[in-house]
Amino acid sequence: MPQPTLSFGRSALFDIPADITYLNAASLSPIPRLVRDAGAQGLQRKVTPWNFTRASFYDIVEAARAEAAALIGAQPGDIAIVGSASYGIATAARNLKPPSGSVVLTLAEEHPSPVYVWIRLAAEGGAAHEEVPRPADHDWTSAILARLADRTRPPVGLLSLTPLHWNDGALLDLAAIRTAADAVGAMLVIDGTQSIGVQPFSLQAVRPDFLVFPTYKWLLGPYGLAFLYADPRRQSGIPLEEHNFSRIGADTISNHYERALDFMDGARRAQQLHHAAHGHRRYQAVAQRRCRANCRLPGAVDQPPGRRRRRPRFREPPTPTSRRAPDRAAQARL
Ligand SMILES: Cc1ncc(COP(=O)(O)O)c(C=O)c1O
């Protein structure tokens, strides 16, 4: 008798018992064995902290950043490493100022993470917050386009949207919304939590001002790790946290009393690096992408042919974050 093969939805890559059929990845995906092992390796680094160099705070981080960038066809410097979707949206809100008198538009019945910060902003006297009511035909795109074009109501200054509605999966045509938003000068913030990793995303067509995507759903990673893409025009803003790991020269720093005020280039300035600088979470993010390739999950990204790049191999000493030449002495043990 031939051995039964793994049936649909089952894979040796996951540690899922034969009597469990798990379908709820939209809530929490299972972590594949490979990712679990990478996480263990990441934790192991902290078991022997005496082996740490200054560069160790950046190597895994930079590798994860490059993986995340490749996933959406961006550059590593466009990606900040943050802790959650809401953290990314809050970072966007800190750096985008919708004109006074305009509104921030979100979807009715939306997940709270891409919404709360705009409610707060409105309460503090910023742009008003408005929800697009659920259309009877579930055609969110037409409803948003109609609202954008409606000159009888306050103009839309910013849209905070998801590629698909989180509660029923209804798709939005973000490229069409971007075009209409351009026509009225509105900014676009995307929460890709339910999309990136399982649905193609065209950075070129959507051109989000900010796009955030956590790893714990369709990227098969852990909680507490998310990537925030910032359009190059949005990379000179202010992060939510004030710490030294995001400052120029931080990766080579030898003097902790020096007050370096210049932020690193690009999205690296907005990252929660010092909270979990070198943990298993970073490592898992790297490994999950490899696993995703092996699994052949439907996560292929819509990358224009000219922009497909080889994934950069990370080399020590990792100092792409600094404009200064690497300081070998400072990369010695802390
Ligand atoms: C659309 C969407 N955004 C965000 C989140 C989670 O946000 P956070 O990472 O802030 O917890 C979820 C979780 O279900 C979601 O479905």
Residue 96: what pLDDT?
96
Cα-to-centroid distance, 80 and ligand 1 (Å)? 17
Give the Cα-Cα-Cα angle 19, 23, 28 (nearest 5 degrees).
Answer: 110
Residue 207: CA count within 13 A, CB half-sphere: 14
Give the chain's domain count.
1
Q: Kindly report the number of other CB atoms within 10 A of residue 10's CB atom.
A: 14
Residue 110: what pLDDT?
97
Q: Which residues have C-beta within 8 Å of that of residue 280, sequence separation ≥ 6?
A: 38, 39, 40, 41, 42, 43, 222
Report the C-alpha gap between 317 and 54 in whole angstroms.
Answer: 9
Torsion on CA atoms 255, 257, 261, 263, rounded to nearest 10:
50
Q: What percent of the chain lies above the pLDDT cut of 90?
A: 61
User: Is residue 192 in contact with ligand 1, taking CB distance under 6 Å?
Assistant: no
User: Is residue 193 in contact with ligand 1, taking CB distance under 6 Å?
Assistant: yes
Residue 185 within any structural domain of the chain: yes
Sorting pLDDT into bands at 50, 70 and 90, what band is 262?
confident
Residue 86 within any structural domain of the chain: yes
> Is pLDDT above 60 for 195?
yes
Cα-to-centroid distance, 322 and ligand 1 (Å)? 32
User: Is residue 85 in contact with ligand 1, taking CB distance under 6 Å?
Assistant: yes
Report yes or no: 55 and 319 within 8 Å, Cβ to Cβ: yes
Residue 60 within any structural domain of the chain: yes
Cα-to-centroid distance, 193 and ligand 1 (Å)? 6
Structural domain of 264 = 33-298
Residue 194: what pLDDT?
98
Residue 24 within any structural domain of the chain: no
User: pLDDT by residue (tens digit) across 131-167?
Assistant: 999 999 999 999 999 999 999 999 999 999 999 999 9
Residue 194 within any structural domain of the chain: yes
Ligand 1 atom with the smallest distance to the CA of 214 is: 9
Report the C-alpha gap between 280 and 274 in whole angstroms.
Answer: 14
Interhelix angle 116-123/85-95, rounded to 10 degrees, is 30
DSSP-derived pairing of the beta strands 187-191 and 128-132 = unpaired
- Region of 296 please: left (phi>0), alpha (psi -120 to 50) or beta: left
User: Is residue 283 in contact with ligand 1, taking CB distance under 6 Å?
Assistant: no
Cα-to-centroid distance, 319 and ligand 1 (Å)? 32
User: Is residue 194 in contact with ligand 1, taking CB distance under 6 Å?
Assistant: yes
Report the C-alpha gap between 166 and 162 in whole angstroms.
Answer: 8
- The mean pLDDT of the chain is 81
DSSP letters of 13-44? TS---TT-----TTT-PPPPHHHHHHHHHHHH
User: Is residue 95 in contact with ligand 1, taking CB distance under 6 Å?
Assistant: no
Cα-to-centroid distance, 64 and ligand 1 (Å)? 20
Phi/psi of residue 247, nearest 5 degrees: -95, 155
User: pLDDT by residue (tens digit) across 55-67?
Assistant: 888 888 899 999 9
> Is pLDDT above 70 for 222?
yes
Report yes or no: 278 and 88 within 8 Å, Cβ to Cβ: no
For residue 197, give the CATH number of its domain. 3.40.640.10
User: pLDDT by residue (tens digit) across 232-247?
Assistant: 999 998 889 877 777 7
Cα-to-centroid distance, 86 and ligand 1 (Å)? 7
Residue 325: what pLDDT?
36
Cα-to-centroid distance, 239 and ligand 1 (Å)? 20
Alpha-carbon distance values, 140 to 12, 164, 171, 253, 264 (Å): 39, 9, 8, 50, 38
User: Is residue 160 in contact with ligand 1, taking CB distance under 6 Å?
Assistant: no
Residue 257 within any structural domain of the chain: yes
Residue 26 within any structural domain of the chain: no
Closest protein CA for atom 14 of ligand 1 = 27
User: Is residue 84 in contact with ligand 1, taking CB distance under 6 Å?
Assistant: yes
Cα-to-centroid distance, 324 and ligand 1 (Å)? 38
Q: Which residues have C-beta within 8 Å of that of residue 120, sequence separation ≥ 6?
A: none
Q: Which residues have C-beta within 8 Å of that of residue 294, sequence separation ≥ 6?
A: 13, 34
Report the C-alpha gap between 122 and 116 in whole angstroms.
Answer: 10
Report yes or no: 183 and 155 within 8 Å, Cβ to Cβ: no
pTM recorded for the entire structure: 0.81
Residue 295: what pLDDT?
44
The residue written with tokens 């082996």 in the block is 51
Residue 17 within any structural domain of the chain: no
Phi/psi of residue 6, nearest 5 degrees: -65, 130
Residue 157: CA count within 13 A, CB half-sphere: 17
